[in-house]
C-alpha cells in the first residue's frame, strides 16, 4: 500500500515537472523574441511580481544566449536581411526607468542590443494605466534617457499613447492611440518608429490595419512562438520571461518556445 502511494506520488511529481517543462515537445526553429517588463530586485508590493526579473537572473540569461552563439540585435534587424546568423531580439514593454538603471548596463557590457516599447503619453511620467489595478507607481524612462539610449543603439518602438486595450476602441480612438503614438515617437526620435507592441498583447484586424497605416512594419503580441519566414510581421509571437524562470525554464523556453503569463 505504501509502495503504491509512493509510486503514485512519484508519478504525480513527474507529471507536474512534465507540465512545467514541456520536455516532450519538439525543439522549434525560428528567431526568438524575448519579452520582459521590469529588470529589478524591487517587488514594490506589485501583484505582477512575475514580470519583475531579478538583475542577476537576467545577467545569467544573457550569458546563456552569448554562450550559445546568439547575437542580440534590435527587433528590426533580427527580422531583416541584415540579421546575423543566430539572432535574438530582447524586447521590453512599457519603457520603465529600470531599463536604464538595471537592464542596459548588463546588455551594454556584453555588446547586446535591445528594443523598448514606449507608452508615449507617459514619457517622463509613470505607469498611470496601472493605477486602477492597484499596481505601484513606477517611473518610466525620461526623454533624456531615451535619447541617450537611442544614440547607443537601443531601438524604440510604440506601445500605444496611453496603454489602452486597442480592441475596445473606435476609429478615432485607434487614431489617437496608434497614429498619435507614432507622431510622438517621430517627434522624439527624429524619425518614424518601425516597431510596435500591442498593450496587453490584444489586437484584432482593425487594430492590425491601423498599426500598419501608422507606419509600423512589425508588431509584437504575447502569443508564444518563434518567428519563421511565414510569420505575419504584424502579429509576432514572443517568449515571455518571468521572475520564477530558472535556467532550465529559460533553456526550454528558448528551444520549445513555450511560455504563458
CA distance 140 to 165: 19
Q: What are phi and psi of 232, to 5 degrees?
A: -60, 125
Contacting range for Zn ion; rule: CB under 5 A; set: 63-71, 72-80, 86-94, 237-245: 86-94
Q: Give whichever of 43 and 202 is closer to Zn ion, judged by the CB atom.
A: 202
Q: Residue 43 Cβ, how far from Zn ion at the closest point, in Å?
A: 18
Residues 6+ apart with CB under 8 A from 25: 256, 258
Q: Give whichever of 66 and 97 is closer to Zn ion, judged by the CB atom.
A: 97
Q: Does the footprint of Zn ion cover residue 138 (CB under 5 A)?
A: no
What is the DSSP-derived secondary structure letter of residue 142? P
Instruction: Locate the DSSP E strands across the chain.
Output: 33-36, 38-39, 52-53, 71-72, 87-94, 115-118, 155-158, 195-197, 218-220, 239-240
Contacting range for Zn ion; rule: CB under 5 A; set: 18-26, 68-76, 92-100, 104-112: 92-100
Q: Are strands 52-53 and 239-240 parallel, antiparallel or unpaired?
A: unpaired
Contacting range for Zn ion; rule: CB under 5 A; set: 20-28, 88-96, 176-184, 215-223: 88-96
Q: What secondary structure does DSSP assign to 193-214, as a single string?
A: --EEE-GGG---HHHHHHHHHT
**Residue at shortest CB range from Zn ion:** 93
Q: Give whichever of 129 and 250 is closer to Zn ion, judged by the CB atom.
A: 129
| Choice from 52, 94, 208, 226 touching Zn ion (CB under 5 A) | 94
> 90 is written with which cell numbers?
530582447
> 102 is written with which cell numbers?
538595471
Q: Residue 94 Cβ, how far from Zn ion at the closest point, in Å?
A: 4
Q: Residue 65 Cβ, how far from Zn ion at the closest point, in Å?
A: 23
Q: Give whichever of 107 and 116 is closer to Zn ion, judged by the CB atom.
A: 116
Q: Give whichever of 148 and 165 is closer to Zn ion, judged by the CB atom.
A: 165
Contacting range for Zn ion; rule: CB under 5 A; set: 28-36, 90-98, 133-141, 172-180: 90-98
Q: Does the footprint of Zn ion cover residue 93 (CB under 5 A)?
A: yes
Q: Give whichever of 93 and 245 is closer to Zn ion, judged by the CB atom.
A: 93
CA distance 219 to 232: 9
Contact residues: Zn ion, CB under 5 A? 93-94
Amino acid at each position: 500500500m505504501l509502495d503504491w502511494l509512493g509510486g503514485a506520488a512519484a508519478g504525480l511529481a513527474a507529471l507536474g515537472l512534465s507540465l512545467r517543462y514541456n520536455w516532450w515537445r519538439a525543439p522549434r526553429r525560428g528567431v526568438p523574441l524575448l519579452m520582459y517588463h521590469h529588470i529589478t530586485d524591487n517587488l514594490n508590493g506589485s501583484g505582477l511580481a512575475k514580470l519583475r526579473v531579478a538583475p542577476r537572473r537576467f545577467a545569467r540569461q544573457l550569458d546563456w544566449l552569448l554562450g550559445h552563439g546568439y547575437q542580440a540585435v534590435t527587433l528590426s534587424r533580427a527580422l531583416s536581411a541584415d540579421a546575423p546568423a543566430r539572432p535574438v531580439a530582447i524586447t521590453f514593454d512599457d519603457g520603465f526607468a529600470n531599463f536604464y538603471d538595471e537592464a542596459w548596463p548588463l546588455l551594454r557590457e556584453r555588446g547586446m542590443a535591445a528594443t523598448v516599447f514606449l507608452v508615449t503619453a507617459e514619457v517622463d511620467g509613470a505607469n498611470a494605466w496601472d493605477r486602477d489595478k492597484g499596481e505601484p507607481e513606477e517611473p518610466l524612462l525620461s526623454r533624456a534617457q531615451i535619447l541617450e539610449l537611442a544614440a547607443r543603439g537601443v531601438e524604440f518602438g510604440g506601445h500605444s499613447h496611453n496603454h489602452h486595450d486597442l480592441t475596445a476602441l473606435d476609429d478615432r480612438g485607434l487614431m489617437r492611440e496608434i497614429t498619435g503614438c507614432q507622431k510622438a515617437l517621430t517627434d522624439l526620435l527624429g524619425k518614424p518608429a518601425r516597431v510596435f507592441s500591442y498593450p496587453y498583447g490584444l489586437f484584432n484586424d482593425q487594430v492590425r490595419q491601423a498599426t500598419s497605416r501608422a507606419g509600423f512594419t512589425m508588431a509584437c503580441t504575447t502569443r508564444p512562438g518563434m518567428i519563421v519566414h511565414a510569420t505575419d510581421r504584424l502579429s509576432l509571437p514572443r517568449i515571455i520571461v518571468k521572475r520564477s524562470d530558472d535556467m532550465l525554464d529559460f533553456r526550454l523556453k528558448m528551444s520549445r518556445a513555450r511560455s504563458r503569463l
